[in-house]
A and B are shown apart, each in its own frame.
Chain A
Amino acid sequence: MVVLVGKFNPQIFQPSWFARHNLIPGPEADAAQLTVVHPEISDFSLDWCHLNVSPERLTLDSQRPERYPPLFDLLISTFNLLSHTPITQVGLNKVYEFKFSNMKEWHAYGHKLAPKEPWAKALTDPGMAALQMRGSRTDDKKGFITVDIRTTATQQMRINVNDHFELGESETISELLEKNSKRTIEQSDRIVKELLPS
């Protein structure tokens, strides 16, 4: 999922606008599931992605990892056209879902990430529900990387890696995505691989 923070005009972001500029195929726009188009919000889904735009925020996500590159392409092309849109922050998120094969492994992993000793006197049967860690960027960009790990159901967890950028004045969102989208995906995969139980 990509989250952009800035100033947007939601009314522009309609399936027909994207098709008119050849950013998506016409039949895809015709088949779009339109939830709402309004001066304050635009929200619709194509068969592979979902777009939500409010005056301060744009989110574009896909449940299909094989469509991440086209998702970035769509944003790059969009903001090449809307090049004067002021965007201040960018969040590139990749979400991973995992299931543990048994309760013992699930608990062991929770104990490893969040040792229970400090909680022993405070809570009865403490268990890790969610954990968030923030790290510095290793490139020359402003921002940070946040990893959020949480339990979604018994023996199941979700890891969200958020690559957060503060956009500089001289840099456009299209340039940033062109240079960083592939690297961000690889970096997220590497981080999650490091965190998974061996």
Chain B
Amino acid sequence: MNNTLDYFVPKVEGKRVTFSRGTRDTFNSQVSNEVAIVNAATLEEPTERESFQLHKNLSTYRVNRAPKVPVFDRASIQAPTSTSKIISFWEGYVNAVYQDQGYFSATLIDLKQADFNSESEREPDHQAEFDIAEVSEFDRDLIVPGAVFYWSITYITSVSRQINTNSDIRFRRLPLWTKFELDAAHASSESLAKLFGI
């Protein structure tokens, strides 16, 4: 079975490489429509005169840059550069926001992962106050009463074995209402309104 789908001509523009559809015979001639964009950082010294193949291998695709290393090397993408250990992990609910004083109060529920070295139990719920400045700028508009966030404290051991402590607050981006759900809610409210003669 021939799994080769096509050949692609790369065009290097700074850090981006654009691949255009070609064929084995013509990949160095006319460039046609763009079909893929690859981050040049994942390539090794790309040049415009090299050909690429897109292979279909079961359910995964792989761009090969024969005879050099494949462009997609999941091992290289996922290779851990450091290890982390969660010290504490909480789910928080915002109770009140005090913008003027720059903080918010929250209830925290322990989400600590299983500790395989001890029989530690989950902590009881806590009340806590957080500086708004501790939250990433792009999450600050999500700090409203009732909002849910995750707070973790992690030991991160770098490749050079240096240990750092990291506090991470991440606000939950709640699922959006779909049109179907909104329509259903609207229909339900209309029938209730009729029922009560409103």
Contact = CB atoms under 8 A, between A and B. Distances in A.
A and B: interacting chains:
yes
Contact of B59 (A25, A57, A174, A185): A57
Nearest to B117: A196
A14 to B, nearest CB: 10
Given A36-B36, A36-B38, A77 B84 contact: no
B150 A77 contact: no
A43 interface: yes
A73 to B, nearest CB: 6
B173 A35 contact: no
A56 interface: yes
B64 interface: no
Given A33-B41, A41-B61, A45-B77, A66 B175 contact: no
Which 10 pairs of residues, A with B, have the shortest CB-CB distance?
A189-B114, A66-B152, A25-B138, A38-B36, A80-B175, A77-B175, A41-B61, A57-B59, A56-B59, A76-B175
Contacts of B186: none
Contacts of A110: none
A115 interface: no
A21 B91 contact: no
B154 A35 contact: no
Interface residues of A, number: 48
Interface in B154-198: 154, 168, 170, 172-178, 180
Interface of A: 21-28, 33-41, 43, 45, 50, 52, 54, 56-57, 61, 63-67, 69-70, 73-74, 76-77, 80-81, 83, 98, 174, 185-186, 189-190, 192-193, 196
28 contacts: A23-B173, A25-B138, A25-B139, A26-B138, A33-B41, A34-B37, A34-B38, A35-B72, A35-B77, A36-B37, A38-B36, A38-B54, A40-B5, A40-B54, A54-B60, A63-B80, A63-B84, A64-B84, A66-B86, A66-B89, A66-B168, A67-B150, A69-B91, A70-B172, A73-B173, A76-B175, A83-B178, A189-B114
Contacts of B147: none
A37 B19 CA distance: 10
A52 B31 CA distance: 27
Contacts of B172: 69-70, 73
B72 A189 contact: no
Nearest to A63: B80
A129 B168 CA distance: 37
Prevailing SS type, chain A contact patch: mixed
Given A36-B37, A66-B89, 20 more contacts: A35-B38, A36-B71, A41-B61, A61-B78, A63-B84, A65-B84, A66-B84, A66-B168, A67-B150, A69-B91, A69-B172, A70-B170, A73-B173, A73-B175, A77-B174, A80-B176, A80-B177, A83-B180, A192-B114, A193-B114
Interface in B35-92: 35-39, 41-42, 54, 56, 59-61, 63, 71-72, 77-78, 80, 84, 86, 89, 91
Contacts of A21: 176
B152 A174 contact: no
A188 to B, nearest CB: 9
Given A35-B39, A37-B37, A45-B77, A66 B150 contact: yes
B186 to A, nearest CB: 17
Interface in B106-138: 111, 113-114, 116, 136-138
